[in-house]
């Protein structure tokens, strides 16, 4: 049934694609200047790549769902190794108690929880300390150290952990009770080094957080599900990720030289030819920025962090001996740089064509093509994740406003990273919406 829906979807998008390309061809013929002709070819190629990416991810995601049903029917429930959950926390007194409660309510019992206070200036440490000891059969430790950043805090706790598997959970996140139990099963396969979980937005209070909710299920979860079919998930999200401890130790733990330590760690694992999977039913809820400037702050840090991680491994971009690693690096580069820049370039070109030659129908077809893909992707994700159906409605605004604004932030972040302009971590103020 899923394959039939996928084929129908592919047919609709394909027809629309041909229609749009016919319009592109008409516009191409009206221009004689080489620059404009080349620009139109570039935009057509970019459109093809983006549509191909969407279709591929939906296809791989369907394949992954089928694969998962097969591989877990005979799951070995006796596999219950020691797991340590590390919660790095800096000034998280608003959310830390909720986060800890969600961890002690885990159905998985062979569990150690380390709350790692990174020199908070608020009451994070005092609040966490109240939970220390044995709680619902889980061992809870609360550690503190001088402030030194998330990666150092994670390494500090890692050295003091007793589990064979390490789960990293952000202090502003809340886990579903079965999250640990679902994720740990993957490590029966010795080739698996890490497993990512699903992240959902908990504070859907305004249009901005609802658009992020859609982005999380479509942009992040669908993409991760697709990547997991190839066992090449490129970023283990901060709110929920589990690792084999021996693998983290082998690559020297978390690095301190990027602002995206999660992306950097995942890249180092892929570089070692280790496999990274995704469990869509292991769910974490996180608080998304509910103000535009806070969202830009978050995306600024994400983009620069990812670019720093790519820059660290840039030698492998041209060294195709490790094909998977080079492929993942190019993919990340496409998402972080090429896509936002090409999106802006295409928009500017369409604006120019419309203003110089009168409003052209290509603009609406081009926009509709992407919007159909967005709505289809959103509907697919909503159906597989049992999310609120009304979220699909926001897919219309998703491309028109959200992606455009986020891409502008990505472009400026890329320029600043290029010129190595100094940056700070840019911690968001929490409002306790988990």
The answer to whether the beta carbons of residues 397 and 207 sit under 8 Å apart is yes
* 292 touches another protein by CB under 8 A: yes
Please state whether beta strands 173-175 and 275-286 pair in parallel, antiparallel, or not at all (unpaired): antiparallel
| 404 binds another protein, rule: CB under 8 A | yes
* Under rule CB under 8 A, residue 350 binds another protein: yes
Residue 89's beta-bridge partner residues?
117
* Residue 12 CB partners (closer than 8 Å, separation 6+): 372, 376
Shortest Cβ 297–another protein spacing (Å): 6
How far apart are alpha carbons 181 and 105 in whole angstroms?
A: 12
Q: Is 363 in the site for another protein (CB under 8 A)?
A: yes
Alpha-carbon gap, residue 302 to 171, rounded angstroms: 18
Determine the size of the site formed for another protein (CB under 8 A): 27
Q: Which of 303, 360, 385, 414 binds another protein (CB under 8 A)?
A: 360
- Of 290, 282, 101, nearest to 201 (Cα)? 290
83-89 and 111-117: which strand pairing? parallel
Q: Name the helix (H) or strand (E) containing 115.
A: strand 111-117
Nearest distance, CB of residue 151 and another protein, angstroms: 21
Query: Is residue 293 a contact residue for another protein (CB under 8 A)?
Result: yes
The least CB distance from residue 415 to another protein, in Å, is: 11
Name which of 143 and 408 has its Cβ closer to another protein: 408
Residue 134, classed as helix, strand or coil, is strand
Q: Looking at 143, 181, 364, 384, which residue binds another protein (CB under 8 A)?
A: 364
Q: Among the candidate windows 80-88, 136-144, 230-238, 362-370, which touches another protein by CB under 8 A?
A: 362-370
CB of 231 or CB of 299, closer to another protein: 299
Q: Please list, residue by residue across 199-217, b when 16 or more beta carbons sit within 10 angstroms of its beta carbon and e when fewer do.
A: bbbbbbeeebbbbbbbbbb
146 near another protein, rule: CB under 8 A: no
Residue choice 324, 354, 428, 431 for contact with another protein (CB under 8 A) = 354
| For another protein, the closer CB: 5 or 404 | 404
When the beta carbons of 211 and 235 are compared against another protein, the nearer one is 211
How does DSSP assign 214-281, residue by residue?
Answer: HHIIIIIIIHHHHHHHTTB-----TTSEEEEHHHHHHTTS--SSSS-HHHHHHHHHHHTT-EEEEEEE
| Closer by beta carbon to another protein, 198 or else 360 | 360
Stretch that binds another protein, among 70-78, 182-190, 231-239, 357-365 (CB under 8 A): 357-365
Name the minimum Å distance from CB 76 to another protein.
50
**CA 219 to chain CA centroid, nearest Å:** 7
Contact between 168 and 261 (Cβ < 8 Å): no
Q: If binding is defined by CB under 8 A, does position 31 make contact with another protein?
A: no
- Smallest distance, another protein to C-beta of residue 312, A: 25
Structure tokens, 328: 């993942």
Q: CB-wise, 165 or 300, nearer to another protein?
A: 300
Of residues 144, 341, 183, 149, the one with CA closest to residue 264: 149
Q: What angle do CA 203, 209, 215 make, to 5 degrees?
A: 115
Least gap, CB of 294 to another protein (angstroms): 8
Name the β-bridge partners of 275.
192
CB of 17 to another protein, least distance (A): 18
Closest distance to another protein from the beta carbon of 299 (Å): 10
User: Footprint of another protein on this chain (CB under 8 A)?
Assistant: 292-293, 296-297, 300, 344, 347, 350-351, 354, 359-364, 367, 400-401, 404-405, 407-409, 412, 424, 426
């Amino acid at each position: 049934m899923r394959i039939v829906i996928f084929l129908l979807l592919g047919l609709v998008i394909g027809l629309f694609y041909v229609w749009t390309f016919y319009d592109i061809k008409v516009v191409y013929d009206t221009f004689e200047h080489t620059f404009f002709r080349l620009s139109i070819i570039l935009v057509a190629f970019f459109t093809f790549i983006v549509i191909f990416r969407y279709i591929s991810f939906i296809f791989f995601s369907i394949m992954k769902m089928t694969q998962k049903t097969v591989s877990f029917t005979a799951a070995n429930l006796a596999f219950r190794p020691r797991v340590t959950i590390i919660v790095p926390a800096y000034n998280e007194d608003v959310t830390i108690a909720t986060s800890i409660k969600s961890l002690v309510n885990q159905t998985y019992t062979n569990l150690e929880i380390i709350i790692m206070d990174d020199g908070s200036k608020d009451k994070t440490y005092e609040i966490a300390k109240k939970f220390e000891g044995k709680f619902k059969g889980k061992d809870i430790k609360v550690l503190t150290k001088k402030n030194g950043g998330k990666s150092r805090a994670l390494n500090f706790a890692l050295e003091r952990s007793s589990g064979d598997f390490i789960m990293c959970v952000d202090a502003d996140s809340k886990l579903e009770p079965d999250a640990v139990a679902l994720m740990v099963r993957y490590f029966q396969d010795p080739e698996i080094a890490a497993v990512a979980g699903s992240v959902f937005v908990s504070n859907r209070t305004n249009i901005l957080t609802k658009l992020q909710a859609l982005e999380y299920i479509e942009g992040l979860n669908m993409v991760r599900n697709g990547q997991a079919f190839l066992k090449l998930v490129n970023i283990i999200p901060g709110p929920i990720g589990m690792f084999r401890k021996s693998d983290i130790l082998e690559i020297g733990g978390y690095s301190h030289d990027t602002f995206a330590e999660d992306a950097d760690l995942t890249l180092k694992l892929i570089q070692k030819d280790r496999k990274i999977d995704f469990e869509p039913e292991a769910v974490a809820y996180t608080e998304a920025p509910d103000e535009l400037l806070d969202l830009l702050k978050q995306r600024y840090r994400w983009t620069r962090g990812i670019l720093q991680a790519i820059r660290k491994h840039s030698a492998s971009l041209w060294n195709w001996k490790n094909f998977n690693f080079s492929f993942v690096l190019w993919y990340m580069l496409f998402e972080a740089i090429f896509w936002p820049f090409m999106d802006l370039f295409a928009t500017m070109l369409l604006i120019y064509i419309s203003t110089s030659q009168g409003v052209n129908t290509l603009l609406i077809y081009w926009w509709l093509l992407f919007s159909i893909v967005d709505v289809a992707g959103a509907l697919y994700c909503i159906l597989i994740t049992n999310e609120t159906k009304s979220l699909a409605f926001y897919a219309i605004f998703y491309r028109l406003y959200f992606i455009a604004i986020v891409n502008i932030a990505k472009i400026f972040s890329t320029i600043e990273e290029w010129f190595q302009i100094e940056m700070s971590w840019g911690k968001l103020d929490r409002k306790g919406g988990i």
